[in-house]
Chains A and B, each alone.
Chain A
Amino acid sequence: MSFMNQLIIAPILLPLLTAALMLLLGEKRRPLKARLNLLSSLLGLAISITLLLWVQAQGQASSIGVYLPGNWPAPFGIALVVDRLSALMLVLTGIVGVCALIFAMARWDSAGASFHALFQIQLMGLYGAFLTADLFNLFVFFEVLLAASYGLLLHGSGRARVKAGLHYIAINLFASSLFLVGAAMLYGVTGTLNMADLALKIPLVPEADRGLLHAGAAILATAFLAKAGIWPLNFWLVPAYSAASAPVAALFAIMTKVGIYTVLRLWTLLFSGQAGASSFFGGDWLVYGGLATLGCAAVSILAAQRLERMASISILASAGTLMAAIGFGQAALTAGALFYLVSSTLALCALFLLAELIERSRSANELPLDDDDCHPSPLESLHPPKGINLDDEQKAVIGQVIPWTMAFLGLSFIACALLIIGLPPLSGFIGKISLIAALFNPLGMGIPPEQPLSVQGWALVALLVLSGLASMIALTRVGIQRFWTPQERPSPALRRYECIPIVVLLGLCIALSVRAEPLLRYTQDTAASLQDPEQYVSAVLATRPIPGPTSQAASAQVQP
């Protein structure tokens, strides 16, 4: 076992130890903890990138690294596995984490207790969920990241946050119960919890037990779909995410992707083409769920008034797109979906950060935090509100605007909007066009498809375009209201720490637009390896524990 194999557990241990250290430091010394947190997050990102490069450098055949934390062989002990998909998600988590943290260091980390420790625990849960290859261990990491997210969601306190947090916790506790029931049923049918071993055992399940197996898998999937924000299990998401403080919401941009990741991972492993009678079980449900989510998100973004809320609904749209694309079970489509996942996560993270800066200059009572009862009122805001300063000619006094802040916010907003709508020239367009191209050419460009596009395929194409249109209308409207409406308001004061993460995130997206090919190739390789779970299974089950000193002595005695 090489040094790189040992590195697989580092993304879990590092945040855990950092969080423990921060708790020892106590409530004071926030600057020190912030620096420690940043250092640890950057180190975690560096480790993730190292793992990604390592996985990629190994080549197609054995691009999977396995670590056995308990030094037990795979079906009996827990295994941590890094393959292309895990490595991609690790790096994405690292980037989002660092950016959210830098933003929080400007202001938000002092709004409540233990922000930095909770942040590290959250990162640990995310990294662990992306790395583990054991179903129950996945549950534990889910609980770790959820427990931290409960604390982070309530960070900053306030009525809206506590109310949204109450619903969020109740829903997630219920979903955790479903997770346990599903995992227990899978264990009852197959007798194993290791994902690779499950993939081997599922084709062998007797016909009488297959219904039980499918029921267990469906219950398990319900838990993941609730976390991923798939309609109709997603009514908790928009209030919770739009009530959360900006850096927390930005970090949560990756949280729904955990649900997507687990569905993708488990569905391609457990119900792959080699799963016998269970092949592609439930794929239609994923497609229909994704389409319904996308449709609902497209309608509800039109009704949203606040930018945070639009960002939350965009998360739903992105989750719906991904889920529908994954449900088709085609390699080309999954590759496009993974590219779209990277681009949309970065863009949504930036939009959550940006939303706070844009809305900061507006007074809090202008629009209530939860706009359940608000109806779209595009004209109202063009009239000067009551109490506005009027000059001698009864015209509103237009506030002095510091050019660079407004220019920065405006340009960043345009970039974010382009990314989320999926308009050229930015990477959101490349993600959507690769999805649509893959729908029409499942075997690759230039090769005529075996059968014409199905009804679901047409529905996905139509909804992708229509939801882009709806996002464009909504974001244009809010952009006009926020940037072009003359209003008496203080120009937003931006701190350097608040601009850096937005520049970094949008810069990454622009880099992805200019040089999309390496990532597209990477996601194609990822999708190809997901289509062929045999590699994963054999890599996990073939890993032998390291012989300890006593067993080495024993084997030396046996062999004379």
Chain B
Amino acid sequence: MEEVIATAIGVLAASGVWLILRPRTFQVVMGLCLLSYGVNLFIFSMGSLFIGKEPIIKDGVPQDLLNYTDPLPQALVLTAIVISFAMTALFLVVLLASRGLTGTDHVDGREPNE
């Protein structure tokens, strides 16, 4: 399982970085999205990966990390998802404003050969 998660994070982050370096604004938005997915998975996996363990305390089960998974990374991921979603939405608005003002979707606001 660690290998699968690690590969997924690596692929997401690599695609994200590649897309961020592209010249079109929409590609940059997609890149930032992919990167934030990779980062979210990364935070999640920092709480160490288990199958069939819950973060919520049950009656009769000893309260230690042998029986539960760490709830903190899950809370962090939730916050990070909300923030990155909001920031991406805001970035889209700026993208549209830039498209409207400059008439091009190049990140520099003008085509490279102009």
Binding site for B on A (CB under 8 A): 136, 140, 143, 146-147, 150, 154, 157-159, 162-163, 165-167, 169-170, 173-174, 176-177, 180-181, 183-185, 187-188, 193
Q: Is the interface of B mostly helix, strand, loop or mixed?
A: helix
10 CB-based A-B contacts, threshold 8 Å = A143-B83, A154-B94, A162-B109, A170-B32, A170-B91, A173-B32, A173-B88, A173-B91, A177-B36, A187-B46
* Inter-chain contacts of A169 with B (CB < 8 A): 87, 90-91, 94
> Do the beta carbons of B90 and A187 come within 8 Å of each other?
no
Extra contacts, 18 of them, besides A154-B94, A177-B39, A181-B43 (Cβ < 8 A), are A146-B87, A157-B97, A159-B102, A162-B97, A162-B98, A166-B25, A166-B94, A166-B109, A169-B91, A170-B107, A173-B84, A173-B88, A176-B83, A181-B39, A181-B42, A184-B39, A187-B46, A188-B46
Q: How far is the CA of A150 from the CA of B87 in the complex (A)?
A: 10
Cβ contacts B84-114/A at 8 Å (1 or 0 each): 1011101100110110011000011100000
Which of A143, A180, A193 meets B39, CB within 8 Å?
A180
Q: How far is the CA of A165 from the CA of B32 in the complex (A)?
A: 16
* Shortest distance from the beta carbon of A557 to any chain B beta carbon, whole Å: 23
Binding site for A on B (CB under 8 A): 20, 25, 28, 32, 35-36, 39, 42-43, 46-48, 72-73, 76, 79-80, 83-84, 86-88, 90-91, 94-95, 97-98, 101-102, 107-109
Q: Which residue of A lies closest to B48 (CB)?
A: A188
Q: How far is the CA of A185 from the CA of B45 in the complex (A)?
A: 10
Known contacts A159-B102, A173-B87, A176-B87; A185/B109 CB under 8 A: no
Known contacts A147-B86, A170-B28; A136/B94 CB under 8 A: no
Q: Which residue of A lies closest to B76 (CB)?
A: A136
* Inter-chain contacts of B46 with A (CB < 8 A): 184-185, 187-188
Known contacts A176-B87, A180-B43; A136/B98 CB under 8 A: no
Question: Which 4 residue pairs of A and B lie closest in terms of their CB atoms, listed nearest first?
Answer: A188-B46, A163-B109, A184-B43, A184-B46
Q: How far is the CA of A180 from the CA of B40 in the complex (A)?
A: 8
Q: How far is the CA of A176 from the CA of B86 in the complex (A)?
A: 13
Q: How far is the CA of A327 from the CA of B72 in the complex (A)?
A: 32
Q: How far is the CA of A193 from the CA of B47 in the complex (A)?
A: 13
> Do the beta carbons of A140 and B79 come within 8 Å of each other?
yes
* Inter-chain contacts of B42 with A (CB < 8 A): 180-181, 184
* Inter-chain contacts of A140 with B (CB < 8 A): 79, 83
